[in-house]
Every structure is written in structure tokens, then in C-alpha cells.
């Protein structure tokens, strides 16, 4: 990882879409600080597409899509995306929603299959709680529709790496895809992840070919479940706390901000906006 200040201005100026993790990327110590929220607003007002890509649940994503200055949100590590808009038609960054806009939801897995898988997730959760002392079902689990979130440091005392690894091992033994965020281990049935659903969402909802345009897309993140995004997008950016869990990653972002969390994301936004101003 190299300092963000070393990223060529021309590459920053070419960016047309900003994708971002939420926990510990937009937030600091669990709080969405004004600097990060304002950065989202400024990026979108400048005409960039702004899309959180998060492990957080459907209930949260409903609110985010409706209320935040964003164009869409990918949730539960790729189980779905929500956006405000109208069909047919495509919204672009910076444009107002209009009186006819409504919440549009697109799930990767159908309703009946999600319900069937949910019953199996409950049994797996019981096993994990029995076998890994100190962990807990994540407090946002009631708002989830497609995955299981096990808390290892959000509302419980931080567990050692070995315990986190044990949670992952149990999930995988039960046939789940397991990913570690900065606060939870998330598990789900299916081969999708943040990247696969983001690519599908960009194509279906915004007419963007992520493969062809990935040099014009920036992703900001901080944790192991962001690795598919770090690997795919050549100018992916980590906020400074990405170093905290670097020992659990094989793919790191190209660039890193000076500051952690909200402040780091605000630094990225300033760099993008300044680069755009310089070429205009």
C-alpha cells in the first residue's frame, strides 16, 4: 500500500464512481461522523455515483437507500442492492430523485430460498455460540434477510484471532461462505460476495461495465471482507485502520489514507474533488 498522496492526479480526476464500505471506513468507533457524511454529499453533488457496499443488514440498507446522499446500497455482503428510482430508467449521481421515486429492491436469491436457508442459519448460530465462548449473535441480526452475523468485537469484548478463525471454520464446515469484517463474521449460503453483486448492480441499474470501467471506479474499505474489491479495483483505497487486520488479508488496497475511519474517507473525497477541479 502506498500513501494516497502519491496517486497520480489524472487517475483521481478520471474517477466517476465511489464505492465504500461502511463500518470503520465511513464510521469511527461505530459512529458516522459529519466529515464522512458531508463527503458523501459533496461527492454526489459533484456528479459522482456514490454507493455503500456493506455487510450491514437489509433493515439498515432500507434506511440508507432512502435517507443518505447515495445512489444505491449493496448489503449483507452482496445478498441484494436497494436504490431509489423508477422503472424503467437509470439514475445517475447528483440528480434529484423526483416525486415519482420509490425504493427498488433487487435480491440475488429468491424469497422462498432465502426463507429456507434462514432456518438452517439458526441452527448453525446455535452451534457457534456453544463452541466459541465470548461471541454473540450480532445485534443487527433481526434486520437481516440472507445471512448470519456473529459479533466478535462490536458489542462484546474483542475476541482473539483464534476465536475468529474458529467461527470461520465452523461456518465453512456447515457449508457457508464466511467473511470477516472489522466487527463480525458473516456467513451465508451461496457464492456471491461484495464484488459479484456490485458488478451485477452496476450493469443492471447504471449501465456500467465494471470490467471495462474499473479504472474509473474507486472502492474504499478497511477489512478482510473487502478483499475481492481491493483485488479487482486497481485504485482501491484503504483508510489507515486497514493495517489493523492486514495479517488476515492476502489482497490489500493500492493506496492508504493518512487517517482512520471517517477522517480517512473524508481525505479520499477531498483528493478526488480537488483532482476534478484541477482538470476542469
Distance CA 5, CA 28 (A): 22
Q: Rounded to two decimals, what is the model's pTM?
A: 0.91
What CATH number matches the domain at 111-188, 3.40.50, 2.40.50, 3.30.70, 3.90.1070?
Answer: 3.90.1070
Fold of 2-108+192-279: Rossmann fold (3.40.50)
Q: Where are the domains of the chain?
A: 2-108+192-279, 111-188
> pLDDT by residue for the chain (280 residues), tens digit each?
999 999 999 999 999 999 999 999 999 999 999 999 999 999 999 999 999 999 999 999 999 999 999 999 999 999 999 999 976 544 444 444 555 689 999 999 988 888 888 889 999 999 999 999 999 999 999 999 999 999 999 999 999 999 999 999 999 999 999 999 999 999 999 999 999 999 999 999 999 999 999 999 999 999 999 999 999 999 999 999 999 999 999 999 999 999 999 999 999 999 999 999 988 7
Q: Where are the beta strands (DSSP E) in 117-236?
A: 136-137, 148-151, 177-180, 184-188, 217-221
Q: What angle do CA 77, 267, 48 make, to 5 degrees?
A: 60
Q: What is the Cα–Cα distance from 157 to 47, expressed in whole angstroms?
A: 41
Other Cβ atoms less than 10 A from the Cβ of 231: the count is 15
Amino acid at each position: 500500500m502506498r500513501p494516497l498522496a502519491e496517486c497520480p492526479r489524472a487517475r483521481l480526476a478520471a474517477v466517476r464512481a465511489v464505492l465504500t464500505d461502511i463500518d470503520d471506513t465511513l464510521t469511527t468507533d461505530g459512529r458516522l461522523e459529519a466529515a464522512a457524511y458531508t463527503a458523501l454529499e459533496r461527492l454526489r453533488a459533484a456528479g459522482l455515483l456514490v454507493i455503500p457496499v456493506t455487510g450491514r443488514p437489509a433493515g439498515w440498507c432500507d434506511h440508507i437507500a432512502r435517507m443518505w446522499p447515495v445512489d444505491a446500497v449493496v448489503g449483507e455482503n452482496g445478498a441484494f442492492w436497494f436504490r431509489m428510482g423508477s422503472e424503467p430508467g437509470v439514475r445517475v449521481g447528483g440528480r434529484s430523485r423526483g416525486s415519482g421515486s420509490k425504493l427498488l429492491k433487487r435480491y440475488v436469491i429468491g424469497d422462498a430460498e432465502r426463507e429456507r436457508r434462514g432456518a438452517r442459519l439458526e441452527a448453525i448460530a446455535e452451534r457457534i455460540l456453544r463452541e466459541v465462548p465470548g461471541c454473540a449473535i450480532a445485534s443487527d441480526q433481526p434486520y437481516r434477510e440472507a445471512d448470519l452475523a456473529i459479533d466478535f468485537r462490536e458489542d462484546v469484548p474483542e475476541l482473539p484471532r483464534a476465536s475468529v478463525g474458529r467461527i470461520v471454520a465452523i461456518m465453512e464446515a456447515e457449508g457457508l461462505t464466511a467473511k470477516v469484517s472489522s466487527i463480525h463474521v458473516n456467513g451465508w449460503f451461496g457464492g456471491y460476495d461484495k464484488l459479484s453483486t456490485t458488478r451485477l448492480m452496476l450493469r443492471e441499474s447504471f449501465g456500467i461495465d465494471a470490467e471495462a470501467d474499473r479504472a474509473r471506479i474507486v472502492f474504499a474499505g478497511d477489512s478482510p471482507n473487502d478483499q475481492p474489491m481491493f483485488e479487482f479495483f486497481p485504485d482501491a483505497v484503504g483508510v489507515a485502520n486497514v493495517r489493523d487486520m492486514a495479517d488476515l488479508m492476502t489482497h490489500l488496497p493500492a493506496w492508504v489514507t493518512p487517517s482512520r475511519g471517517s477522517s480517512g474517507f473524508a481525505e479520499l473525497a477531498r483528493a478526488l474533488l480537488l483532482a476534478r477541479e484541477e482538470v476542469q
